[in-house]
Amino acid sequence: MSTGQEALFQKATQFITQYYKENNLQGLAERLEQVGSQIALRATYDLTEEELSFGAKLAWRNSNHCIGRLFWKSLKVRDRRTLHSAKDIFEDLLEHLEFGFNQGKIKSVISIYSSEGPSRFRIWNKQLIRYSGYLQEDDSIVGDPDSVEFTQICQNLGWSSKGTAFDVLPIVIQKNEETPEWFELPESLKFQIPLRHPDYPQLDELGLQWYALPVISDMRLEIGGQDFRCAPFHGWYMLTEIAVRNLGDEHRYNLIPKIAQKLGWDTSQNRKLWKDKGLLVLMEMVLSSFQSAGVTLVDHHTASQQFLEFCQIESQKGREVQADWSWIVPPTAGSTTGVFHREWPNEVHSPNFFYQKPKW
Amino acid sequence: MSTGQEALFQKATQFITQYYKENNLQGLAERLEQVGSQIALRATYDLTEEELSFGAKLAWRNSNHCIGRLFWKSLKVRDRRTLHSAKDIFEDLLEHLEFGFNQGKIKSVISIYSSEGPSRFRIWNKQLIRYSGYLQEDDSIVGDPDSVEFTQICQNLGWSSKGTAFDVLPIVIQKNEETPEWFELPESLKFQIPLRHPDYPQLDELGLQWYALPVISDMRLEIGGQDFRCAPFHGWYMLTEIAVRNLGDEHRYNLIPKIAQKLGWDTSQNRKLWKDKGLLVLMEMVLSSFQSAGVTLVDHHTASQQFLEFCQIESQKGREVQADWSWIVPPTAGSTTGVFHREWPNEVHSPNFFYQKPKW
Ligand code: HEM
Ligand code: HEM
């Protein structure tokens, strides 16, 4: 074996061993021998559907940035490594979305497509459902500032849109080095939630909305030395991701000044705490709108409790949780959540999800 | 020279060189020679008053946990290395407090007392002004839970108190290994601020207050290899330290449930966001009470802007700011402050302030 093959065999061995041990399975030695000969022969090996499924769950369990890991075992893993065209993948994604949304009672799902061998797929979008952003003549931005560059790319591919603040981008799928194909999602699978505040009807004029399903589609899943570069996954949203970061961040929708204006607040001085008040209004708005729509969403207090429960279970199993404090602690009211007062080692274990360079 | 002496000379050289360079002073070589012979002869050396003063400022500038560093140059350094009794130090501390409080327009001050040689002092308090805490029969705590142990120690030394939630502890000063002496602060130097909310008079019933001056008195100041273990310092408070952490933390005054009760909020579910609302009320209360009292206090938004200004100035000077993100980012509304969206290396440079083991 070359050094590359040996390195792969080592990673494969580590993962396969963990899979057999954690699940109390028989036949580890035979399986490792088989994997070894595959690697010696083909410089790669095949993960079984069961191995893939367990590997994806472990990748979630090992995600140092994720506060939602209590539910790692419940991940639904869709093995779709045999699909061979962009169109098939798009159609399969529609199924993924419908199944995962589950009429509002969201289930965590990952779909794994081929990204090695003769059919190598990449989804260009950051998330399957996400809003476009348009740079205006006066340098202002309509929509999501974080999408301006990708929106331009979609337009160059021939996509056109209404130009509103909440246009859902098309799904862009590339096979090998071919020109990518783009597909418009049907309205019924965009899962838009209009945002209304129970006490402030004047905020309706802002015409805000957000989508129910955060499907990350640009990360690399690594299991036992194998890369899955096209493996979109989702859980449900944590309140602060939408209300505090996406809607509140200055470099995103930057809505706090607009909320303040509609509610007649004095924003001339920091000490009026208008930003703190604005966050609260945005959170109330998102929470009550998701609730009215009957869509799963977790607040940061509950998510923190669930994460600490996860830590406790892991510790009972003799496993040390790895976590990145600065990602786990919610972006507001941090010190009122239990996670603020904890520390974790922050090593990156395998399997895991990694950033990868965009193809565009 | 012994290896100990050589290590000291190396640290001294580093600091003295920085002092001469940053201030464009002449005579570095002579000064280093002098320091070298002192160390060779006595295994220590004398910092001049000017060196001590600059060293203390640098220690502040190098404090990775501190968001208030823009003002490092304005630190008033009181060189009190010649005081030789606990009583003299206590009386000098009264001057420090009065001068630093400055009728509400707080000035940043450090007083440096002897902690090597024949008179080695330590102040046992965490802060010069801080509330006691009393464990009750039913395991509840009156006062500050973080002070329970130290309060017991003061009582063992003969101190007695009213047993309220806001008794200021005595100042406990130890010379060498002698029994420590304790001193009661005069009322006029406790700088108590009654806390009232402008819109919720019913919160007056809680009888809350806090002190104006956070004088940290248990850290070790290290300059050029020399330790100053008795060197209390203060700036002014940042809003969230009092409102969010001291009053809000569950393991401190834990006031959010009480606020919620007085204001008739539903606390049965996390998604009522009662903790987030409680933080806002506590912040408004502290802010407006300090303002009414005419006492300096900075909100977290302004402090973040000032810290970023500090970073910019440092970078213009060709110096790399070291900072601990998890301490710099405020404990609430983090992502609405600029510091949330930045990163810094977190090496500990000298001079600096360090934790040290309590003498009790
Ligand atoms: C079930 C509900 C879930 C919740 C409430 C949740 C919550 C979160 C939150 C709040 C973040 C930080 C996001 C940010 O600040 O940008 C995060 C990151 C992450 N989550 Fe989860 N998550 C859930 C499900 C999942 C699932 C199903 C997976 C994978 C199978 C996953 C993997 C990750 C990864 C890889 C990151 C890091 C993303 C990055 O670094 O940009 N999570 N999660
Ligand atoms: C002038 C106004 C100042 C402000 C607004 C300020 C703000 C802060 C804040 C918010 C913290 C974090 C406290 C915590 O979370 O417990 C902190 C820590 C710290 N500050 Fe400042 N500070 C100021 C002045 C000073 C001065 C004058 C010094 C020293 C000369 C100093 C040295 C430190 C040190 C050493 C820490 C870390 C304490 C620890 O690790 O427990 N600061 N500061």
Q: Given A284, A305, A336, which is nearest B275 (Cβ)?
A: A336
The ipTM (two decimal places) reads 0.96
Q: SS3 string of A62-90?
A: CCCCCCCHHHHHHCEEEEECCCCCHHHHH
Instruction: Give me the pLDDT at residue B145, please.
Output: 98
Would the CB of A304 count as within 6 Å of ligand 1? no
Model pLDDT for residues A292-350, shown as the tens digit of each residue: 999 999 999 999 999 999 999 999 999 999 999 999 999 999 999 999 999 999 999 99
Q: Within an 8 Å CB–CB cutoff, is residue B257 touching chain A?
A: no
- Return the closest-CA partner of residue B194 out of B211, B216, B174, B176: B211
Pocket test for ligand 2, best of B52, B53, B58, B63 (most atoms within 8 A of CB): B63
- Return the closest-CA partner of residue A335 out of B330, B302, B337, B280: B330
Chain A to chain B, count of Cβ pairs less than 8 Å apart? Answer: 91
Which contiguous run of DSSP H or E holds residue A308?
helix A300-316
Does A34 fall in a domain? yes
Does A55 fall in a domain? no
| Ligand 2 centre distance from Cα of residue B66 (Å) | 4
Would the CB of A307 count as within 6 Å of ligand 1? no
Query: Could you confirm whether B81 is annotated as catalytic?
Result: no
CA–CA gap between residue B264 and residue B278 (Å, rounded): 12
Q: What percent of chain B has pLDDT over 70?
A: 100
Q: What is the mean pLDDT of chain B?
A: 98
Under the banding of pLDDT at 50, 70 and 90, the label for residue B154 is very high
Whether A332 sits inside 8 A of B276 (CB atoms) is: yes
Does B24 fall in a domain? yes
Q: Within an 8 Å CB–CB cutoff, is residue A326 touching chain B?
A: yes
Token output for A34: 């088989």
| Ligand 1 centre distance from Cα of residue B340 (Å) | 19
Instruction: Give me the pLDDT at residue A141, please.
Output: 97
* Secondary structure class of B216 (helix, strand, coil): strand
Given A60, A124, A236, A274, the catalytic residue: A236
Question: Which protein residue's CA is at the shortest distance from atom 37 of ligand 2?
Answer: B65
Q: Given A256, A279, A287, which is nearest B271 (Cβ)?
A: A287
Phi, psi of B31, deg, nearest 5: -65, -40
| Ligand 2 centre distance from Cα of residue B126 (Å) | 13
Would the CB of B241 count as within 6 Å of ligand 2? yes
Q: Residues, chain A, total?
A: 360
What is the extent of the structural domain holding A5?
Answer: 1-46
Model pLDDT for residues B130-145, shown as the tens digit of each residue: 999 999 999 999 999 9
Task: DSSP letter for A175, please.
Answer: E
Q: CA angle, corner A326, sides to A322 and A327, nearest 5?
A: 70
Q: Is the pLDDT of residue A1 over 90?
A: no
Instruction: Give me the pLDDT at residue A360, please.
Output: 86
Instruction: Give me the pLDDT at residue B360, please.
Output: 86
Mean pLDDT throughout B309-325?
Answer: 98
Mean pLDDT throughout B97-123?
Answer: 97
Model pLDDT for residues B249-305, shown as the tens digit of each residue: 999 999 999 999 999 999 999 999 999 999 999 999 999 999 999 999 999 999 999
Does A256 fall in a domain? no
Does B40 fall in a domain? yes
Q: Within an 8 Å CB–CB cutoff, is residue B277 touching chain A?
A: yes
Residue of A nearest to B277 (CA): A280
Which residue is listed with tokens 């823009």?
B70
| Burial of A209 per CB tally in 10 Å (0-12, 13-18, 19+) | middle
Whether A276 sits inside 8 A of B280 (CB atoms) is: yes
Whether B336 sits inside 8 A of A273 (CB atoms) is: no
Does A1 fall in a domain? yes
Whether A280 sits inside 8 A of B283 (CB atoms) is: no
Instruction: Give me the pLDDT at residue A54, please.
Output: 98
Model pLDDT for residues B224-262, shown as the tens digit of each residue: 999 999 999 999 999 999 999 999 999 999 999 999 999
Which residue is listed with tokens 């050589």?
B6
Instruction: Give me the pLDDT at residue A163, please.
Output: 96
Instruction: Give me the pLDDT at residue A23, please.
Output: 98
Mean pLDDT throughout B109-113?
Answer: 98
Q: Given A271, A279, A335, which is nearest B245 (Cβ)?
A: A335
Helices A49-61 + A3-22 axis angle, to 10:
80
- Return the closest-CA partner of residue B168 out of B152, B189, B153: B189
Does B33 fall in a domain? yes
- Count the domains in chain A: 1
The closest-lying atom of ligand 2 relative to the alpha carbon of residue B237 is 5
- Tell me if B65 sits within 8 A of B324, measured CB to CB: yes
Residue B132 CA to chain centroid, in angstroms? 17
Model pLDDT for residues B181-213, shown as the tens digit of each residue: 999 999 999 999 999 999 999 999 999 999 999
- Return the closest-CA partner of residue B35 out of B44, B25, B22: B44
Instruction: Give me the pLDDT at residue B329, please.
Output: 98
Handedness of CA A302, A296, A200, A204 (dihedral sign): positive
Query: Could you confirm whether B69 is annotated as catalytic?
Result: yes
Q: Within an 8 Å CB–CB cutoff, is residue B332 touching chain A?
A: yes
Handedness of CA A229, A73, A299, A338 (dihedral sign): negative
Q: Is the pLDDT of residue B1 over 90?
A: no
Number of Cβ within a 10 Å radius of residue A142:
17
Given B60, B122, B124, B241, the catalytic residue: B241
Q: Given B251, B335, B341, which is nearest A248 (Cβ)?
A: B335
Under the banding of pLDDT at 50, 70 and 90, the label for residue A60 is very high
Question: Which protein residue's CA is at the shortest distance from atom 17 of ligand 1?
Answer: A66
Q: Mind telling me how many Å the CA of B129 is from chain A's nearest CA? A: 24
Does B27 fall in a domain? yes
Would the CB of A133 count as within 6 Å of ligand 1? no
Model pLDDT for residues A218-242, shown as the tens digit of each residue: 999 999 999 999 999 999 999 999 9
Q: What is the mean pLDDT of chain A?
A: 98
- Tell me if B73 sits within 8 A of B202, measured CB to CB: no
